Chains A and B, each alone.
Chain A
Amino acid sequence: MPGNDISSDRNACLVEIRGLRKCFGDNEVLKGIDLCVQRSEVVSIIGRSGSGKSTLLRCINGLERFDEGSLAVGGHALKHGDAHAMRELRQNVGMVFQQFNLFPTMSAGQNIMLAPRLVRKLPAADARKLAESLLERVGLAGRFDSAPHQLSGGQQQRVAIARALAMNPEVVLCDEMTSALDPELVGEVLQVIEKLAREGSTLIIVTHEMGFARKVSDRVIFMHQGRVHEEGRPEQIFDCPRTPELRNFLSLPPEQQA
Protein backbone atom coordinates (compact mmCIF):
# COMPACT_ATOMS: atom_id res chain seq x y z
CA MET A 1 0.00 0.00 0.00
CA PRO A 2 1.34 3.42 -0.88
CA GLY A 3 0.22 4.82 2.50
CA ASN A 4 2.44 2.35 4.30
CA ASP A 5 5.36 3.32 2.13
CA ILE A 6 5.02 6.94 3.15
CA SER A 7 4.88 6.16 6.85
CA SER A 8 7.91 3.86 6.73
CA ASP A 9 9.69 6.57 4.74
CA ARG A 10 8.86 9.00 7.52
CA ASN A 11 10.29 6.71 10.13
CA ALA A 12 13.54 6.63 8.23
CA CYS A 13 13.88 10.42 8.38
CA LEU A 14 15.60 11.67 11.50
CA VAL A 15 15.15 15.24 10.33
CA GLU A 16 12.17 15.77 8.10
CA ILE A 17 11.46 19.13 6.48
CA ARG A 18 8.46 19.69 4.23
CA GLY A 19 7.52 22.79 2.30
CA LEU A 20 9.49 25.10 4.58
CA ARG A 21 9.05 28.80 3.82
CA LYS A 22 10.55 31.75 5.61
CA CYS A 23 10.39 35.49 4.95
CA PHE A 24 12.35 38.36 6.41
CA GLY A 25 9.87 41.14 5.70
CA ASP A 26 9.29 41.15 1.94
CA ASN A 27 12.34 39.03 1.30
CA GLU A 28 11.50 35.35 0.99
CA VAL A 29 14.71 33.54 1.97
CA LEU A 30 13.37 29.98 2.00
CA LYS A 31 10.97 29.18 -0.81
CA GLY A 32 9.70 25.74 0.04
CA ILE A 33 12.41 23.39 1.23
CA ASP A 34 11.90 19.62 1.36
CA LEU A 35 14.64 17.64 3.03
CA CYS A 36 14.94 14.27 4.70
CA VAL A 37 18.09 13.48 6.65
CA GLN A 38 18.52 9.90 7.75
CA ARG A 39 20.16 8.65 10.90
CA SER A 40 23.98 8.58 10.63
CA GLU A 41 23.84 10.57 7.43
CA VAL A 42 26.26 13.45 6.93
CA VAL A 43 24.75 16.20 4.81
CA SER A 44 26.65 19.29 3.70
CA ILE A 45 24.84 22.39 2.53
CA ILE A 46 26.76 24.66 0.20
CA GLY A 47 25.81 27.83 -1.63
CA ARG A 48 26.48 31.54 -1.83
CA SER A 49 25.90 33.81 1.17
CA GLY A 50 22.26 34.82 1.10
CA SER A 51 21.15 31.55 -0.45
CA GLY A 52 19.33 30.68 2.78
CA LYS A 53 21.57 27.85 3.97
CA SER A 54 22.26 29.24 7.44
CA THR A 55 18.63 30.22 7.87
CA LEU A 56 17.57 26.68 7.02
CA LEU A 57 20.00 25.29 9.57
CA ARG A 58 18.80 27.70 12.25
CA CYS A 59 15.19 26.68 11.59
CA ILE A 60 16.01 23.08 12.51
CA ASN A 61 16.57 23.90 16.20
CA GLY A 62 14.07 26.72 16.36
CA LEU A 63 16.51 29.64 16.51
CA GLU A 64 14.63 30.97 13.50
CA ARG A 65 10.86 30.81 13.09
CA PHE A 66 9.47 29.67 9.78
CA ASP A 67 6.25 30.87 8.20
CA GLU A 68 4.97 27.77 6.41
CA GLY A 69 5.71 24.08 6.21
CA SER A 70 6.62 21.53 8.82
CA LEU A 71 9.77 20.36 10.50
CA ALA A 72 10.27 17.32 12.70
CA VAL A 73 13.28 15.80 14.44
CA GLY A 74 13.03 12.17 15.51
CA GLY A 75 9.32 12.25 14.77
CA HIS A 76 8.67 15.20 17.09
CA ALA A 77 7.29 18.23 15.28
CA LEU A 78 8.82 21.62 16.02
CA LYS A 79 6.21 23.82 17.72
CA HIS A 80 7.34 27.32 18.47
CA GLY A 81 4.69 28.24 21.03
CA ASP A 82 5.24 25.10 23.08
CA ALA A 83 8.15 25.64 25.49
CA HIS A 84 8.12 22.02 26.64
CA ALA A 85 8.26 20.65 23.09
CA MET A 86 11.05 23.09 22.19
CA ARG A 87 13.08 21.96 25.18
CA GLU A 88 12.64 18.31 24.14
CA LEU A 89 13.59 19.07 20.56
CA ARG A 90 16.66 21.11 21.43
CA GLN A 91 18.01 18.31 23.59
CA ASN A 92 18.02 16.24 20.41
CA VAL A 93 19.67 18.89 18.28
CA GLY A 94 23.15 20.18 19.06
CA MET A 95 24.55 23.25 17.37
CA VAL A 96 28.05 24.53 16.65
CA PHE A 97 28.31 28.20 15.72
CA GLN A 98 30.64 30.23 13.55
CA GLN A 99 31.63 32.44 16.50
CA PHE A 100 31.94 29.51 18.99
CA ASN A 101 29.75 31.39 21.50
CA LEU A 102 31.37 29.88 24.57
CA PHE A 103 30.14 31.42 27.82
CA PRO A 104 32.99 33.72 28.89
CA THR A 105 32.18 33.64 32.62
CA MET A 106 32.72 29.87 32.78
CA SER A 107 35.69 27.56 32.27
CA ALA A 108 35.78 25.20 29.30
CA GLY A 109 34.57 22.34 31.47
CA GLN A 110 31.74 24.35 33.02
CA ASN A 111 30.59 25.32 29.54
CA ILE A 112 30.17 21.63 28.76
CA MET A 113 28.60 20.73 32.12
CA LEU A 114 25.98 23.46 32.08
CA ALA A 115 23.23 21.90 29.99
CA PRO A 116 23.55 18.35 31.40
CA ARG A 117 23.38 19.81 34.92
CA LEU A 118 20.40 22.07 34.28
CA VAL A 119 18.35 20.21 31.70
CA ARG A 120 19.17 16.59 32.44
CA LYS A 121 19.67 17.23 36.17
CA LEU A 122 22.91 15.26 36.15
CA PRO A 123 24.74 15.30 39.53
CA ALA A 124 27.84 17.53 39.53
CA ALA A 125 30.32 14.64 39.77
CA ASP A 126 28.75 12.80 36.82
CA ALA A 127 28.57 15.96 34.75
CA ARG A 128 32.21 16.62 35.45
CA LYS A 129 33.16 13.13 34.35
CA LEU A 130 31.11 13.59 31.19
CA ALA A 131 32.77 16.93 30.45
CA GLU A 132 36.24 15.47 30.99
CA SER A 133 35.58 12.57 28.66
CA LEU A 134 34.14 14.90 26.00
CA LEU A 135 37.18 17.17 26.27
CA GLU A 136 39.36 14.13 25.74
CA ARG A 137 37.26 13.17 22.72
CA VAL A 138 37.95 16.54 21.07
CA GLY A 139 41.64 16.34 21.95
CA LEU A 140 41.60 18.79 24.85
CA ALA A 141 42.13 16.50 27.84
CA GLY A 142 43.31 18.46 30.86
CA ARG A 143 41.90 21.80 29.69
CA PHE A 144 38.82 21.57 31.95
CA ASP A 145 39.75 24.67 33.95
CA SER A 146 40.92 26.85 31.06
CA ALA A 147 38.93 30.03 30.51
CA PRO A 148 37.65 30.39 26.93
CA HIS A 149 39.85 33.43 26.26
CA GLN A 150 42.94 31.43 27.19
CA LEU A 151 42.25 29.00 24.34
CA SER A 152 43.00 29.45 20.65
CA GLY A 153 40.09 29.79 18.22
CA GLY A 154 40.44 26.17 17.16
CA GLN A 155 40.48 24.99 20.76
CA GLN A 156 37.45 27.14 21.58
CA GLN A 157 35.54 25.64 18.69
CA ARG A 158 36.47 22.15 19.83
CA VAL A 159 35.14 22.98 23.32
CA ALA A 160 31.96 24.23 21.62
CA ILE A 161 31.66 20.91 19.78
CA ALA A 162 32.08 19.04 23.06
CA ARG A 163 29.42 21.29 24.59
CA ALA A 164 27.02 20.51 21.74
CA LEU A 165 27.66 16.78 22.22
CA ALA A 166 27.09 16.92 25.98
CA MET A 167 23.34 16.39 25.64
CA ASN A 168 23.97 13.39 23.42
CA PRO A 169 21.93 14.88 20.58
CA GLU A 170 20.64 12.79 17.70
CA VAL A 171 21.78 15.37 15.18
CA VAL A 172 24.46 18.08 15.27
CA LEU A 173 24.15 21.24 13.19
CA CYS A 174 27.36 23.00 12.20
CA ASP A 175 27.00 26.57 10.99
CA GLU A 176 30.16 27.66 9.13
CA MET A 177 32.16 26.45 12.07
CA THR A 178 35.57 27.21 10.55
CA SER A 179 34.81 30.57 8.94
CA ALA A 180 36.05 32.59 11.94
CA LEU A 181 39.26 30.59 12.30
CA ASP A 182 42.78 31.32 11.15
CA PRO A 183 43.65 28.94 8.29
CA GLU A 184 46.16 26.95 10.33
CA LEU A 185 43.47 26.19 12.95
CA VAL A 186 40.83 24.91 10.53
CA GLY A 187 42.31 21.41 10.29
CA GLU A 188 42.05 20.51 13.98
CA VAL A 189 38.34 21.37 14.03
CA LEU A 190 37.54 19.52 10.82
CA GLN A 191 39.39 16.45 12.13
CA VAL A 192 37.07 16.33 15.14
CA ILE A 193 33.99 16.56 12.89
CA GLU A 194 35.40 13.90 10.58
CA LYS A 195 35.84 11.61 13.55
CA LEU A 196 32.22 12.22 14.58
CA ALA A 197 31.09 11.39 11.05
CA ARG A 198 33.05 8.14 11.08
CA GLU A 199 31.55 7.23 14.45
CA GLY A 200 28.08 7.42 12.95
CA SER A 201 26.84 10.81 14.12
CA THR A 202 24.13 12.53 12.11
CA LEU A 203 25.53 15.84 10.94
CA ILE A 204 24.14 18.73 8.93
CA ILE A 205 26.98 21.03 7.96
CA VAL A 206 26.80 24.45 6.36
CA THR A 207 30.28 25.05 5.03
CA HIS A 208 32.51 26.88 2.60
CA GLU A 209 35.20 24.20 2.84
CA MET A 210 34.49 22.32 -0.38
CA GLY A 211 37.31 19.83 0.10
CA PHE A 212 35.97 18.94 3.50
CA ALA A 213 32.37 18.68 2.27
CA ARG A 214 33.51 16.30 -0.44
CA LYS A 215 35.50 14.14 1.93
CA VAL A 216 33.08 13.84 4.81
CA SER A 217 29.57 14.04 3.30
CA ASP A 218 27.20 11.31 2.24
CA ARG A 219 25.17 13.90 0.40
CA VAL A 220 25.76 17.49 -0.68
CA ILE A 221 22.99 20.04 -1.11
CA PHE A 222 23.51 23.12 -3.21
CA MET A 223 21.16 25.94 -2.24
CA HIS A 224 20.42 28.81 -4.58
CA GLN A 225 17.96 31.66 -4.01
CA GLY A 226 16.10 29.95 -1.22
CA ARG A 227 15.67 26.59 -2.92
CA VAL A 228 17.47 23.27 -3.02
CA HIS A 229 18.90 23.74 -6.48
CA GLU A 230 20.85 20.54 -6.82
CA GLU A 231 21.65 17.62 -4.56
CA GLY A 232 23.51 14.39 -4.81
CA ARG A 233 26.53 12.41 -3.76
CA PRO A 234 29.65 14.56 -3.32
CA GLU A 235 31.45 13.22 -6.40
CA GLN A 236 28.34 13.88 -8.47
CA ILE A 237 27.94 17.45 -7.16
CA PHE A 238 31.60 18.42 -7.41
CA ASP A 239 32.63 16.47 -10.53
CA CYS A 240 29.59 16.61 -12.75
CA PRO A 241 27.36 19.51 -11.68
CA ARG A 242 24.20 19.58 -13.75
CA THR A 243 23.07 23.20 -13.39
CA PRO A 244 24.91 26.31 -14.62
CA GLU A 245 24.41 27.96 -11.19
CA LEU A 246 26.32 25.19 -9.42
CA ARG A 247 29.06 25.19 -12.09
CA ASN A 248 29.33 28.92 -11.61
CA PHE A 249 29.45 28.57 -7.81
CA LEU A 250 32.19 25.97 -8.05
CA SER A 251 34.07 28.31 -10.44
CA LEU A 252 33.96 25.74 -13.22
CA PRO A 253 33.84 26.97 -16.81
CA PRO A 254 30.35 26.86 -18.37
CA GLU A 255 29.52 23.55 -19.96
CA GLN A 256 30.65 23.33 -23.60
CA GLN A 257 27.80 22.80 -25.99
CA ALA A 258 28.67 19.98 -28.34
Chain B
Amino acid sequence: MNAFSNWDIIRNLLLAVPWTLALSAIAFIGGSVLAVTMLVLRLWKPATLGRAVHWYVQLFQGTPLLMQLFLTYFGLALFGVDTTPLAAATVCLILYACAYLTETWHGCVISIPPGQWEASASLALNLREQLVHVIFPQTFRMAVPPTVGLLVQIIKNSSLASVVGFVELTRAGQMIANVTYAPFLVYGLVSLIYFAICFPCSLLGRRLERRTRIQY
Protein backbone atom coordinates (compact mmCIF):
# COMPACT_ATOMS: atom_id res chain seq x y z
CA MET B 1 0.00 0.00 0.00
CA ASN B 2 2.70 2.46 1.01
CA ALA B 3 4.56 3.06 -2.21
CA PHE B 4 6.89 5.66 -0.70
CA SER B 5 10.31 4.68 0.55
CA ASN B 6 12.08 6.79 3.13
CA TRP B 7 14.38 7.98 0.41
CA ASP B 8 11.38 9.21 -1.61
CA ILE B 9 10.23 11.23 1.36
CA ILE B 10 13.64 12.77 2.03
CA ARG B 11 14.25 13.48 -1.65
CA ASN B 12 10.93 15.28 -2.01
CA LEU B 13 11.49 17.29 1.14
CA LEU B 14 14.97 18.29 0.00
CA LEU B 15 13.52 19.46 -3.30
CA ALA B 16 11.45 21.97 -1.37
CA VAL B 17 14.41 23.28 0.65
CA PRO B 18 15.57 25.75 -2.04
CA TRP B 19 12.17 27.45 -1.84
CA THR B 20 12.48 27.91 1.90
CA LEU B 21 16.02 29.21 1.47
CA ALA B 22 15.02 31.53 -1.36
CA LEU B 23 12.01 32.93 0.48
CA SER B 24 14.09 33.50 3.64
CA ALA B 25 16.93 35.08 1.70
CA ILE B 26 14.61 37.44 -0.20
CA ALA B 27 12.82 38.38 3.03
CA PHE B 28 16.10 38.97 4.87
CA ILE B 29 17.93 40.84 2.14
CA GLY B 30 14.87 42.83 1.02
CA GLY B 31 13.96 43.53 4.63
CA SER B 32 17.50 44.68 5.42
CA VAL B 33 17.69 47.10 2.51
CA LEU B 34 14.29 48.52 3.39
CA ALA B 35 15.20 48.61 7.10
CA VAL B 36 18.25 50.82 6.48
CA THR B 37 15.94 53.31 4.75
CA MET B 38 13.43 53.12 7.59
CA LEU B 39 16.21 53.53 10.15
CA VAL B 40 17.48 56.70 8.47
CA LEU B 41 13.90 58.05 8.39
CA ARG B 42 13.58 57.33 12.10
CA LEU B 43 16.78 59.22 12.87
CA TRP B 44 15.90 62.15 10.62
CA LYS B 45 14.72 65.39 12.13
CA PRO B 46 11.96 66.59 12.17
CA ALA B 47 10.50 63.30 13.33
CA THR B 48 7.25 63.24 11.33
CA LEU B 49 8.32 60.43 9.00
CA GLY B 50 10.05 58.71 11.88
CA ARG B 51 6.76 58.52 13.73
CA ALA B 52 5.12 56.87 10.73
CA VAL B 53 7.93 54.32 10.68
CA HIS B 54 7.46 53.76 14.38
CA TRP B 55 3.77 52.92 13.87
CA TYR B 56 4.49 50.61 10.96
CA VAL B 57 6.94 48.73 13.19
CA GLN B 58 4.43 48.56 16.05
CA LEU B 59 1.73 47.26 13.70
CA PHE B 60 3.89 44.41 12.43
CA GLN B 61 5.23 43.56 15.88
CA GLY B 62 1.79 43.57 17.44
CA THR B 63 -0.03 41.27 15.00
CA PRO B 64 0.57 37.58 14.20
CA LEU B 65 2.56 36.89 11.05
CA LEU B 66 -0.18 34.43 10.07
CA MET B 67 -2.73 37.27 9.95
CA GLN B 68 -0.28 39.45 8.05
CA LEU B 69 0.06 36.70 5.44
CA PHE B 70 -3.72 36.28 5.14
CA LEU B 71 -4.25 40.02 4.89
CA THR B 72 -1.53 40.44 2.26
CA TYR B 73 -2.76 37.53 0.20
CA PHE B 74 -6.47 38.36 0.28
CA GLY B 75 -5.96 42.11 0.66
CA LEU B 76 -3.89 42.49 -2.48
CA ALA B 77 -6.56 40.57 -4.40
CA LEU B 78 -9.20 42.93 -3.00
CA PHE B 79 -7.36 45.85 -4.57
CA GLY B 80 -7.42 44.06 -7.89
CA VAL B 81 -3.75 43.05 -7.77
CA ASP B 82 -3.35 39.63 -9.30
CA THR B 83 -1.43 37.89 -6.51
CA THR B 84 0.37 34.59 -6.56
CA PRO B 85 1.27 32.82 -3.32
CA LEU B 86 4.90 33.59 -4.14
CA ALA B 87 4.29 37.34 -4.48
CA ALA B 88 2.10 37.59 -1.37
CA ALA B 89 4.50 35.56 0.79
CA THR B 90 7.51 37.52 -0.44
CA VAL B 91 5.96 40.96 0.10
CA CYS B 92 4.62 40.03 3.49
CA LEU B 93 7.84 38.46 4.77
CA ILE B 94 9.92 41.41 3.54
CA LEU B 95 7.66 43.83 5.46
CA TYR B 96 7.74 41.55 8.51
CA ALA B 97 11.54 41.20 8.45
CA CYS B 98 11.95 44.92 7.84
CA ALA B 99 9.83 45.83 10.87
CA TYR B 100 11.88 43.68 13.24
CA LEU B 101 15.23 44.66 11.73
CA THR B 102 14.34 48.37 11.92
CA GLU B 103 13.39 48.07 15.57
CA THR B 104 16.48 46.04 16.47
CA TRP B 105 18.92 48.30 14.66
CA HIS B 106 17.26 51.41 16.02
CA GLY B 107 17.84 49.97 19.49
CA CYS B 108 21.53 49.52 18.62
CA VAL B 109 21.81 53.12 17.37
CA ILE B 110 20.21 54.41 20.57
CA SER B 111 22.63 52.47 22.73
CA ILE B 112 25.65 54.15 21.11
CA PRO B 113 27.03 56.63 23.67
CA PRO B 114 25.70 60.17 22.99
CA GLY B 115 29.30 61.39 23.08
CA GLN B 116 29.83 59.76 19.68
CA TRP B 117 27.10 61.95 18.18
CA GLU B 118 28.43 65.02 19.94
CA ALA B 119 32.05 64.46 18.97
CA SER B 120 31.16 63.92 15.31
CA ALA B 121 28.82 66.93 15.33
CA SER B 122 31.51 69.12 16.88
CA LEU B 123 33.82 68.10 14.00
CA ALA B 124 31.29 69.73 11.63
CA LEU B 125 30.09 66.44 10.13
CA ASN B 126 26.54 66.51 8.74
CA LEU B 127 23.98 63.83 9.55
CA ARG B 128 24.83 61.70 6.51
CA GLU B 129 28.54 61.76 7.35
CA GLN B 130 27.84 61.05 11.01
CA LEU B 131 25.74 58.02 10.11
CA VAL B 132 28.03 56.61 7.43
CA HIS B 133 31.37 57.10 9.17
CA VAL B 134 30.68 57.06 12.89
CA ILE B 135 27.27 55.68 13.85
CA PHE B 136 26.57 52.86 11.38
CA PRO B 137 29.98 51.17 11.70
CA GLN B 138 29.31 50.86 15.44
CA THR B 139 25.67 49.90 14.90
CA PHE B 140 26.72 47.19 12.49
CA ARG B 141 29.06 45.58 15.00
CA MET B 142 26.54 45.79 17.80
CA ALA B 143 23.77 44.45 15.58
CA VAL B 144 25.45 41.21 14.52
CA PRO B 145 24.15 38.93 17.30
CA PRO B 146 20.51 40.13 17.31
CA THR B 147 20.44 40.21 13.51
CA VAL B 148 21.55 36.59 13.27
CA GLY B 149 18.81 35.80 15.77
CA LEU B 150 16.27 37.51 13.52
CA LEU B 151 17.58 35.66 10.47
CA VAL B 152 16.90 32.37 12.24
CA GLN B 153 13.41 33.61 13.16
CA ILE B 154 12.74 34.53 9.54
CA ILE B 155 13.85 31.12 8.28
CA LYS B 156 11.57 29.38 10.76
CA ASN B 157 8.65 31.74 10.18
CA SER B 158 8.88 31.32 6.42
CA SER B 159 7.09 28.04 7.17
CA LEU B 160 3.92 30.10 7.68
CA ALA B 161 3.93 30.96 3.98
CA SER B 162 2.55 27.47 3.52
CA VAL B 163 -0.90 28.74 4.57
CA VAL B 164 -1.31 30.80 1.42
CA GLY B 165 -0.31 27.81 -0.67
CA PHE B 166 3.33 28.61 -1.20
CA VAL B 167 5.13 25.28 -1.54
CA GLU B 168 8.23 25.46 0.61
CA LEU B 169 9.59 22.93 3.08
CA THR B 170 6.61 22.91 5.46
CA ARG B 171 3.98 22.82 2.71
CA ALA B 172 5.88 20.00 0.98
CA GLY B 173 5.94 18.17 4.32
CA GLN B 174 2.18 18.55 4.69
CA MET B 175 1.54 17.14 1.24
CA ILE B 176 3.91 14.23 1.72
CA ALA B 177 2.44 13.48 5.15
CA ASN B 178 -1.02 13.40 3.61
CA VAL B 179 -0.12 10.78 1.05
CA THR B 180 2.26 8.67 3.11
CA TYR B 181 0.19 8.55 6.32
CA ALA B 182 3.46 8.93 8.21
CA PRO B 183 3.10 12.43 9.72
CA PHE B 184 5.48 11.86 12.64
CA LEU B 185 8.28 10.70 10.39
CA VAL B 186 7.70 13.46 7.84
CA TYR B 187 7.37 16.35 10.30
CA GLY B 188 10.30 14.98 12.27
CA LEU B 189 12.40 15.14 9.12
CA VAL B 190 11.09 18.62 8.30
CA SER B 191 12.13 19.82 11.76
CA LEU B 192 15.56 18.24 11.38
CA ILE B 193 16.07 20.05 8.08
CA TYR B 194 15.08 23.40 9.65
CA PHE B 195 17.52 22.70 12.46
CA ALA B 196 20.26 21.84 9.96
CA ILE B 197 19.73 25.23 8.33
CA CYS B 198 19.35 27.36 11.46
CA PHE B 199 21.98 25.88 13.74
CA PRO B 200 24.96 26.77 11.49
CA CYS B 201 23.56 30.32 11.24
CA SER B 202 23.64 30.63 15.01
CA LEU B 203 27.16 29.22 15.14
CA LEU B 204 28.34 31.65 12.50
CA GLY B 205 26.67 34.49 14.39
CA ARG B 206 28.52 33.63 17.57
CA ARG B 207 31.84 33.56 15.74
CA LEU B 208 31.11 36.93 14.08
CA GLU B 209 30.07 38.39 17.42
CA ARG B 210 33.46 37.65 18.90
CA ARG B 211 35.22 39.20 15.93
CA THR B 212 33.18 42.40 15.72
CA ARG B 213 32.89 43.32 19.39
CA ILE B 214 33.58 47.02 19.99
CA GLN B 215 36.03 48.07 22.65
CA TYR B 216 35.41 51.56 23.92
Chain A residues in contact with chain B, CB under 8 A? 61-63, 83, 86-87, 90-91, 93-95, 97, 99, 101-105, 114-115, 118-119, 147-149, 160, 163-164, 166-167
What residues of chain A lie closer than 8 Å to B215, measured between beta carbons?
A: 104, 147-149
Interface flag for B133 (CB, 8 Å): yes
CB closest residue in chain A, given B124: A90
Per-position binary interface string of chain B over residues 109-151, scored 1 when its CB falls under 8 Å from any chain A CB and 0 otherwise: 0000101101111111110010001100110010000000000
In the complex, the answer to whether B129 meets A118 with C-beta atoms within 8 Å is: yes
What residues of chain A lie closer than 8 Å to B118, measured between beta carbons?
A: 63, 95, 97, 101
Leading 9 A-B pairs by shortest Cβ distance: A101-B119, A149-B215, A90-B124, A101-B115, A115-B123, A95-B122, A105-B137, A91-B124, A119-B124
The distance in angstroms between the C-alpha atoms of A87 and B124, with both chains bound, is 5
In the complex, the answer to whether B216 meets A93 with C-beta atoms within 8 Å is: no
What residues of chain A lie closer than 8 Å to B129, measured between beta carbons?
A: 118-119
In the complex, the answer to whether B119 meets A103 with C-beta atoms within 8 Å is: yes
Per-position binary interface string of chain B over residues 43-78, scored 1 when its CB falls under 8 Å from any chain A CB and 0 otherwise: 000000000000000000000000000000000000
Interface flag for B179 (CB, 8 Å): no
What residues of chain A lie closer than 8 Å to B119, measured between beta carbons?
A: 95, 97, 101-103, 160
The distance in angstroms between the C-alpha atoms of A204 and B130, with both chains bound, is 25
17 additional A-B residue pairs with CB within 8 Å, beyond A97-B115, A114-B133: A63-B118, A90-B121, A90-B122, A90-B124, A93-B122, A102-B119, A103-B119, A104-B214, A105-B214, A114-B134, A115-B125, A119-B124, A119-B129, A160-B119, A163-B123, A164-B123, A167-B123
Chain B residues in contact with chain A, CB under 8 A? 113, 115-116, 118-126, 129, 133-134, 137-138, 141, 214-216
Count A-B contacts at CB 8 Å.
71
In the complex, the answer to whether B113 meets A101 with C-beta atoms within 8 Å is: yes
What residues of chain A lie closer than 8 Å to B116, measured between beta carbons?
A: 101, 103
In the complex, the answer to whether A119 meets B123 with C-beta atoms within 8 Å is: yes
The distance in angstroms between the C-alpha atoms of A167 and B122, with both chains bound, is 11
CB of A248, distance to nearest CB on chain B (Å): 32
What residues of chain A lie closer than 8 Å to B124, measured between beta carbons?
A: 86-87, 90-91, 115, 119, 167
In the complex, the answer to whether A119 meets B141 with C-beta atoms within 8 Å is: no
In the complex, the answer to whether B120 meets A103 with C-beta atoms within 8 Å is: yes
The distance in angstroms between the C-alpha atoms of A95 and B120, with both chains bound, is 10
What residues of chain A lie closer than 8 Å to B115, measured between beta carbons?
A: 97, 99, 101
The contact sample of 25 A-B pairs, CB cut-off 8 A, is: A62-B121, A63-B122, A90-B121, A90-B122, A94-B122, A97-B115, A97-B119, A99-B113, A101-B116, A104-B214, A104-B216, A105-B138, A105-B141, A105-B214, A114-B123, A115-B125, A119-B123, A119-B124, A119-B129, A147-B215, A148-B215, A148-B216, A149-B215, A149-B216, A160-B119
Quick one: which of B120, B122, B141 contacts A61, CB cutoff 8 A? B122
CB of B171, distance to nearest CB on chain A (Å): 43
What residues of chain A lie closer than 8 Å to B126, measured between beta carbons?
A: 83, 87
In the complex, the answer to whether B123 meets A104 with C-beta atoms within 8 Å is: no
What residues of chain B lie closer than 8 Å to A62, measured between beta carbons?
A: 121
The distance in angstroms between the C-alpha atoms of A54 and B145, with both chains bound, is 37
CB of A15, distance to nearest CB on chain B (Å): 15
In the complex, the answer to whether B141 meets A118 with C-beta atoms within 8 Å is: no
CB closest residue in chain A, given B132: A118
CB closest residue in chain B, given A103: B134
CB of B158, distance to nearest CB on chain A (Å): 33
CB closest residue in chain B, given A90: B124
